Chain A
């Protein structure tokens, strides 16, 4: 049942065939019924007419003979009655039986009684209503009835009756009862033929519909499957166009669309490739002169003690700005790799707790300059993960550096939680915090919450966006929470095996210590 509903909802062919079958069933039913009633009434009429004619002649013959027997003795009359009955009764075959009934009209009180029915036919075959009408009318009266034999056999029949006068015996009713077995058989045959013809017709209609629908549905299905392959990125797929009908118009239109999409995509891909290539080339080309610059600056910087104070300070600034320039270059290169989707994950096994502690330690000097301190707490002493250690380290450094920038001389809490499949690290600071617009934009490139705010490490403004990309490359997630003046909370959730998916958020984004 479910399968039927399923195919009803999903298959155009089944839908069309089903509705065609239902409709044609209705049509066949109506025409069949009309045909049936026409045919049966025709057959009945023919039979009735012939029966009436037969009855008329038989009864007239009987009346005539009775007339001739007028005045004859009862024995002769009896013989005439017997003759009439035997000649009127036919037993040619079972089907064409004709029986005769003589019934005494009520009120006939003569002594002699010729009441008789041929062949042990039950007189109740003649209904009272028929008798009444016969008595009232001088003409032939007919009525359809059921012939009842004394043995209990019942067959459909037609009773035709008329008043007759039998000499010395008064008024009788003479009935001829025709068996309609033959007619019934004919009618049954007509009916069953019509029924069979109807079913065959419906079946043929269904078959034809199926063939026709298939012609239409097949290319539609083909188009759907090609469109699906197209969706999955196989842009070379095309529909085959054989003829010049509407379906092939669909095919041609589809192919045109496919062609145009393919071209567009190729154009965009090329454009983005050219752009990525350019960014990457620029970054690479900048590296060689930057290396020279750095070394030169280092040489100058080492000798700065012999310079005038202004020159010496200039050397320092030069070195510091080169550092910053280099970081910017690295970040830009990394971003261009993410944009070009060529960033590669190099997963190794390592202890993420140890890594977090090391990052905190490396940044502790910067933290103390900003009068803050980092506490790293882990639910377990060691949490082994398989991830790209360089990227995870970069995420952690970015989060910690960001927290130090905004800590406002309050401590920073780093919490690490893990279960069998996921690991989460929350970095919580209690400083300036983030408002709602900031939360939306905090991972945007080059976005700064407060342009006037100094950055500790001369940050590039790309740190958090790179961190987010790094997290996503692991199939992990990096989320931010914050309230103005109540600090911020960054939660990194990673699968313990890189590229598997994360199942749960082990650290709630809204920190537990926060009460609104």
Chain B
């Protein structure tokens, strides 16, 4: 069974989330304080974390950073604010996705969770290359030479999506549908922030990216390293 850790200080909402997720066949671990998250997380590592921003004890953004420091588990932030500032802060702290309360439909939440949990690209076997990186899709590994680069699941999916079709220029909307599973969303910040995070891990110089290249006004494409 899949285990999702729900971190929310509102008891009723947490319980309701529990009911909805359990109804969808997902096990739930409820945590109500920010400073308790890490202990529970270490004792019983979940497959995904649903994390509220406003938490007693420790701020959700801080919790997100702590989890990210030791795990690549998918994190979805629950934010009561639709304000840009909080969303971007959450994404920069390492969240893969976010949902603004109240959700349009609880089913949307479940869909997002499933997207983040699905084994993507299971149809691909063998190695993909992008720039000077080798991607072992089955083993979920990215190698530069013999050195392994740690990526979150989402960053990995993003990189694989680009590497699968080296010539193609992906629009931000296309990446949103491909990686995040949105049918149509207008929030391209998700893509921008995660491309930045991915670049900071894989590029030699994040200021002058050579692997994930920006095509101005259109989107991104996989770069071809000169000489390789």
Contacts and interface: CB of A to CB of B under 8 A. Distances in A.
Interface in B1-48: 10, 12-13, 16-17, 19-20, 23
A28 to B, nearest CB: 75
B16 A287 contact: no
Nearest to B186: A389
Contact of A288 (B80, B82, B106): B80
A34 B19 CA distance: 114
B81 interface: yes
B16 A326 contact: no
Interface string A277-314: 00000001001111111111011000000000000000
B19 A299 contact: yes
23 contacts: A284-B80, A287-B80, A287-B101, A288-B13, A288-B80, A289-B13, A290-B101, A291-B13, A291-B101, A291-B103, A292-B16, A293-B102, A294-B105, A295-B16, A295-B20, A295-B106, A298-B20, A299-B19, A346-B84, A346-B189, A358-B184, A390-B186, A390-B187
Contact of A298 (B82, B107, B189): B107
A349 interface: yes
Nearest to B187: A390
Among A288, A289, A333, A349, the most chain B Cβ lie within 10 Å of the Cβ of: A288
Among A290, A295, A389, the most chain B Cβ lie within 10 Å of the Cβ of: A295
A348 B84 CA distance: 14
A434 B157 CA distance: 53
Given A289-B12, A299-B20, A294 B80 contact: no
Contacts of B186: 389-390, 393
A344 interface: yes
Nearest to B173: A350
B84 A292 contact: no
B145 interface: no
Nearest to A290: B102
Contacts of A333: 82
B102 A291 contact: yes
Interface string A475-487: 0000000000000
Interface string B74-108: 00000011101000000000000000011101110
Contacts of A292: 10, 12-13, 16
B227 interface: no
A288 B101 CA distance: 7
Given A291-B102, A298-B107, A390-B186, A344 B16 contact: no
Given A288-B80, A346-B84, A295 B17 contact: yes
A348 B188 contact: yes
Contacts of A284: 80-81
Nearest to A386: B217
A304 B107 CA distance: 16
A349 B216 CA distance: 10
Among B17, B23, B82, the most chain A Cβ lie within 10 Å of the Cβ of: B82
A369 to B, nearest CB: 20
A272 B166 CA distance: 54
A368 to B, nearest CB: 21
A284 B86 CA distance: 13
A403 B10 CA distance: 41
Contacts of B184: 358
B103 A294 contact: yes
Interface string B162-192: 0000000000000000000000101111000
A294 B106 contact: yes
| Closest CB pairs A-B (n = 7) | A291-B102, A290-B102, A291-B101, A295-B106, A292-B13, A287-B101, A292-B16
A358 B19 CA distance: 35
A88 B167 CA distance: 131
Nearest to B100: A287
Interface in A42-69: none
A298 B106 contact: yes
Contacts of B16: 291-292, 295-296
A298 B20 CA distance: 9
Interface in A344-361: 344, 346, 348-349, 358
Given A289-B13, A344-B84, 12 more contacts: A284-B80, A290-B101, A291-B101, A291-B103, A293-B102, A294-B106, A295-B16, A298-B20, A298-B105, A298-B106, A389-B186, A393-B186
A349 B82 CA distance: 21
A346 to B, nearest CB: 7
Nearest to A388: B186
Contacts of B19: 295, 299
A352 to B, nearest CB: 13
Contact of B23 (A287, A299, A348, A393): A299
Contacts of B103: 291, 294-295
B216 to A, nearest CB: 9
A8 B84 CA distance: 55
A366 B186 CA distance: 22
A265 to B, nearest CB: 26
A28 B106 CA distance: 97
Contacts of B101: 287-288, 290-291
Contacts of B217: 349
A353 B184 CA distance: 16
A495 to B, nearest CB: 18
